[in-house]
Chains A and B, each alone.
Chain A
Amino acid sequence: MNREDGKFTRRDFLKTTGTVVAGATVASGAVGSLAGKALAAVEPPELPIEKGAVLKVLRWSPFVKSDGEWWEKNTRKWEEVTGCKVITEYVSWEDVRPKAAMEASVGAGHDIVSGWHDDPHIYPDKLLDVTDICEYLGKKYGGWESVCFKYGMKNGRWIAVPMGAPGQQIVYRKSWVNEAGYEKVPGDVEGFIKLCKKLKSMGHPVGFAMGHAVGDGNNWVHTWLWSFGAMTVDKDGNVAINSPETRNALEAMKDLYDNAMISGVASWLDPHNNKAYLANQISLTNNGISIYYAAKAKFPDIAEDTYHASLPIGPVGRPTELHLFNQAFIFKHTKFPNAAKHYLMFMLEKDQCGPWTNAMRGYVTPALKAYRNLPVWTEDPKHTPYRDCVKNMLWNGYAGPIGPASAAVMAEYIVVDLFANYCARGVSMKKAIEEAEKAIARYYKT
């Protein structure tokens, strides 16, 4: 490439995106199991990179060290290849949304944001169309998991690049589950509740956050609600929380709360279940793979006994999971639209995304189907349940449209509070549902 004049030629581009080898058998050791899989021969979009581009990226602070290390490593690689520069600002994951929101509002700030859930749908007009790179990546890497189309697209155009999900699954102590007479955690809600009750009767309660825990709380209650066929709004955005399905979901959760959970979960924020699990206070919870790795570092005995299972499937008979969903988007105010698009595309190419995902050891599940075959998902069988997080998930605001209303309902913890009100605060089911219904209606009316 001719880096002296800052131009980036088509030849360089093909080199960096890996298209030259696309279609051929991939034999990269770093990409592991993708070796032997034929990737589609796809022509990448032409993106002449702007001279002297300096990209400012806002992303969440890595949950694991290896995430940050590989993100930076891949970024430096892109800088070397293109001669451009990237300045990444890491902030706590909960702070990305307000910060990005302000930037969208004022039309200045970072070029790229690695954000969450509905963010791109709150200010879609402020975002660059990334259809070209998303279509390219999708075609090349076996397609996007189905939820990505809902999260990443608006009116038939891609407004964000799905990056993946720091997924959650059931984390449990195998010896105690075995002691309770189970070989593994039942996959259905009914069996799951029975197991949890048995565990508590043996002195090993379970624990699920029902306080204002952004990740653990929201993910858990939405998954539970949907698993009974209930939903906050229907596909047209009409409020649908007041339903027999919601009542069934509440009843089942109340059973779990009263007879299986440790006391105090109504105040739990995100870190509480991790601490309680590692202190042997609870036998089972919902979480990312972080507990397992924290245990490996400090409590090897607990790590040895820790296993993972998929979140339980309810009466609807199919997975209804919610996980944090990470997508990157580019603001229209960027001076370097092509560089920004190229950077994101580069980061999701197998030579970068493969080693990055492997190094994260299951913390983040990629959104492209081809990456289901990475060795990380099988090298330790305890990683495997996290492989299908994106495949099995629904979108925030299911079954309605994604947008400011779904974002507000989650930000307001309306579903979390619905469950907490009924299960932990003694509010009647009728009143709890009515309160939730009113709160949801306030946002979906606009």
Chain B
Amino acid sequence: MEAVADTGTAPMGLRQRISRALENPTVLGFLFVAPAELILLIFLAYPFFLGLWLGLTDTLVGREGHYIGFANYISLLHDSSFWLAVFNTFVYTVVAVFLKAVLGVGLAVVLNRDFKAKGLIRAIVLLPWIIPTALSAICFWWLYDSTFSGISWTLKRFGFIDHFIDFLGDPWNARFSLIAANVWRGVPFFTIGLLAGLQTINPDLYEAADIDGASSWKKFWKITLPLLTPLLTVVTIFSTIWTFADFQLVWIITKGGPAGATHIFGTLSFQRAMQGGHFGEGAAISNFMLPILVVCVFIAFLFLRKED
């Protein structure tokens, strides 16, 4: 034993082994990110995989579910309410995101100019974004009320209409009313994001264009928009993800009505899983969102890497 000790190859104590392991950058790095990874694992990965699993079961609330393969998905494919929700989700997302992008670019360009109280106006533009969604949804619910709508009242007062508009009772009116509420709430995200992008464009480019006699419209198309496109793409994709997976606005304003005409994935899933107790089917509806959201995330990821 003594001889072994003399050669310096005696087995290391636990403390020594830990100490040596911590000197290894790989181990140390792993330990540093471990808490964050654990949080991601518990709060993101676990619910995500649980959702995937539930979609493959016939779980009812409070009851053990059994694996049923793709039966929930097949059943949904034959469910007209589900297809209506698919249609609504796409209409809601495409129209709302398009309008938010157009208005967002326009507002960003306007706010990028020099004018009095610029800071104050920029802060005000941000307001719809920072107001809690539930609160703004309730405000819109009032504005769209069939008997007390402030919009209808004003239009009637000025003689534009002779009766109150049925904003939420007619399917298309209801869809566009929800889109309008979503646009109102989402435009500031585009505006502020793009405003930051606009401020990074080199003013020399505009000066050179001025010297060449370019019109404002031409400068926008040839300088502003191309330089803004990468940022616009990322902002659009993020907005698409949020709009596609929206829930609060629709639930508070219409609860999916009239007659299911405004259900989107989120609201239909909630209704069936949490209110109707059919967890498996509710999860399957949510999981239908997955491929589309994955594509969006992938595109965003590519652009962000390109930006880097």
Contact = CB atoms under 8 A, between A and B. Distances in A.
Nearest to A420: B259
A327 interface: no
Given A211-B168, A264-B168, A411-B275, 10 more contacts: A122-B277, A211-B254, A264-B146, A264-B166, A266-B166, A266-B257, A266-B258, A272-B145, A272-B146, A408-B276
B275 A272 contact: no
Interface string A410-446: 0111001100110011010000000100110011001
A412 B257 contact: no
Given A412-B271, A446-B58, A420 B63 contact: no
A262 B146 CA distance: 9
A324 B95 CA distance: 39
Contacts, number: 133
B255 A101 contact: no
A34 interface: no
Interface centre among B147, B171, B279 (most CB of A within 10 A): B147
6 contacts: A105-B279, A266-B258, A267-B254, A268-B169, A275-B147, A417-B259
A281 interface: yes
Nearest to B60: A404
A265 B169 contact: yes
Interface in B247-291: 254-261, 271-272, 274-279
Interface of B: 58, 60-63, 75, 79-81, 144-148, 163-164, 166-171, 174, 254-261, 271-272, 274-279
A289 B60 CA distance: 35
Nearest to A268: B146
Contacts of A123: 60-63
A279 interface: yes
Contacts of B148: 275, 279
Interface of A: 97-98, 101-102, 104-105, 122-123, 125-126, 210-212, 262-269, 272, 275-276, 279, 281, 404, 407-408, 411-413, 416-417, 420-421, 424-425, 427, 435, 438-439, 442-443, 446
B272 A408 contact: yes
Contact of B174 (A105, A267, A413): A267
Interface centre among A212, A417, A420 (most CB of B within 10 A): A212
B277 A211 contact: no
Nearest to B81: A439
A42 to B, nearest CB: 32
A104 B147 contact: no
Given A420-B259, A424-B258, A425-B259, A97 B147 contact: no
Contacts of A272: 145-147
A105 B166 contact: no
B129 to A, nearest CB: 26
A122 B61 contact: yes
B164 A97 contact: no
B64 to A, nearest CB: 9
B257 to A, nearest CB: 4
A275 B147 CA distance: 9
A237 to B, nearest CB: 15
Given A211-B169, A425-B259, A281 B275 contact: no
A49 B169 CA distance: 53
A5 B15 CA distance: 51
Contacts of B274: 97-98, 101
B80 A435 contact: yes
Contacts of B61: 101-102, 104-105, 122-123, 404
Contacts of A122: 60-62, 277
Interface centre among A125, A267, A269, A442 (most CB of B within 10 A): A267
| A-B pairs with lowest CB-CB distance, top 9 | A264-B146, A123-B62, A267-B168, A104-B62, A408-B276, A266-B169, A212-B255, A411-B275, A411-B276
Nearest to B255: A212
A411 B255 CA distance: 11
A210 B271 contact: no
Contact of A264 (B60, B62, B169): B169
A275 B167 CA distance: 17
A74 to B, nearest CB: 29
B258 to A, nearest CB: 4
Contact of A97 (B259, B275, B279): B275
A266 to B, nearest CB: 4
Contacts of B278: 404, 408, 443
Given A123-B62, A442-B75, A266 B272 contact: no
A210 B145 CA distance: 14
